[in-house]
Structures are given as C-alpha cells and as structure tokens.
A and B are shown apart, each in its own frame.
Chain A
C-alpha cells in the first residue's frame, strides 16, 4: 500500500520513466514564476531573508574565533598585530554589522522559543511568556558568564 508520505517520493522514483523531462524540485511548468528578488517587495519577506542571512554573521564569528585562537598560538607579537587589525575602521564597521546581525539572530531565535517548545506541567501548558522569560534569562546568564570569565578579576 502506498503511504501518504511516500507520495512525495513517488514522482521522483518513477518520474524519469513516466515523464522524460521530469526534474526533481523543479516542477517549473506547474508553478507561477516569481522574480528572483521576491523578498524585496514586502517588509515581512525582507525581514525573513534578513533573519536567514544572520547565519552569515554566525559563520563569520565562528571562523574569526578560529583565527583568533590560531593567532594566540602564534605568540605575543602576532596577537598584538591582530589587535591592531581589529581596531582599523573598515574592520570595525564590518564587525559592527556582524554584531547587529548577531543581535537580530538572538532576538528572533529566542522569540520563537515559545512556539518551538510546548512544555507541559501535568495537564496545564506552561504559558508562552514564562518560556520566553526563561530564554531571555538564559541569554543574560550566558552573557554574564562570558564577561566574568574573559575580563573578570
């Protein structure tokens, strides 16, 4: 018997045999065509794409963190030069943008937590506000921990 979830795979499996011009994920001829920059037309769409693009800032921060670890392993002089590079205006501007994107990521990510996490206590569902406050408290705690560890005395 064909299960409902198999219906999605079926055309792909038999597609080439039934329809020689079949291409997976590209059923162009059944769909209305949208412009490539469809997300520029509406604020909500632009916000969505911006949210998705925050992943670039996350990836950049990961790579720069690796670079800083590498620089630290190269010795004092390399670290001093790296610090000088960090305060050059173009680098500061890029990092300012990276930080804004990261904050946007944090806010959008944590705001979705109540939707992703439907916690129950007995028969009652924990209110969204409590889940939200819990996540923001975790953000505050994590930030304090990082500050304390890196620059605390």
Chain B
C-alpha cells in the first residue's frame, strides 16, 4: 500500500492558521499589547478581563487561534528555511524541530486553557 503523505494535514493546519491569523491577530495585538497597556481605550480591569476569557467558547476560540497560528508558523517557516537558506537537505531535522515545537506548545496551551484561571 502506498504510504499516505502527512503533507495535506500540515497544509490544512497552515491554511486554517493563516486565515484565522489574518482575520483576528492584528486586532488582538493592537488591543492587548498597545491600546490597553498604553491607555488608548478604557481598558477592562484585571477581574473583568479574566471574566471575559473564562468562558468555554472564548477559551476554545483562543486555544484554536493559538494552536493554528503555531502550526501556521511551523509550516511556513519550515519552507522558508528550505528555500530561503537552501537547507532542503536538512528536511527531516527542520520538519521535526518546527512541527515538534508547535506540538509541545500545543500541549502547553491545552493545559493552560484547561486550568484557566
């Protein structure tokens, strides 16, 4: 039997992550790391922010955003190293390190959101 390629799975993760990141990350970054700490907007208090995040659908959405963004990075950066720096002979090593770190961070994120707050 022909060996089934893992490439379509990682490409789908890359694609979903790319779309989600394109649609929501600029807003998230602009609010959480500029507007709120710099006082450009009337920021939610610590308790309000924790309450906003501590809802199952919100936690699930944030978890999906984090995980898909991580796999988007892993896939795209992997090919940037292959093509940009001509490292395709390190195929196995680069794939293992990029998808491996995305997987480890995914497990960490799962624990983080599961036990939040």
Contact = CB atoms under 8 A, between A and B. Distances in A.
Interaction A to B: yes
Interface of A: 23-26, 34, 36, 39, 49, 52-53, 55-56, 58-59, 61-66, 68-70, 72-73, 76, 79-80, 83, 86-87, 92, 95, 98-99, 102-103, 105-106, 109-110, 138-139, 142-143, 146-147, 149-151, 153
A62 B26 contact: no
A65 B62 contact: yes
A83 to B, nearest CB: 5
Given A52-B79, A151-B42, A138 B52 contact: no
A83 B38 CA distance: 9
Contact of A26 (B38, B49, B89): B89
* A-B residue pairs, 10 tightest by C-beta: A59-B73, A55-B76, A62-B69, A86-B37, A146-B27, A142-B23, A109-B22, A143-B27, A106-B22, A52-B80
Interface residues of B, number: 61
B10 to A, nearest CB: 13
A100 B38 CA distance: 18
A150 B31 CA distance: 8
Contact of A68 (B21, B27, B32, B113): B32
Interface of B: 17-19, 21-38, 41-44, 46-47, 49-50, 52-53, 58, 62, 65-67, 69-70, 72-77, 79-80, 83-86, 88-89, 91, 105, 108-109, 112-113, 115-117
20 contacts: A39-B84, A52-B80, A53-B77, A59-B72, A62-B66, A65-B28, A65-B62, A72-B46, A86-B33, A103-B26, A105-B21, A105-B22, A139-B23, A142-B24, A143-B24, A143-B27, A146-B27, A150-B32, A150-B49, A151-B43
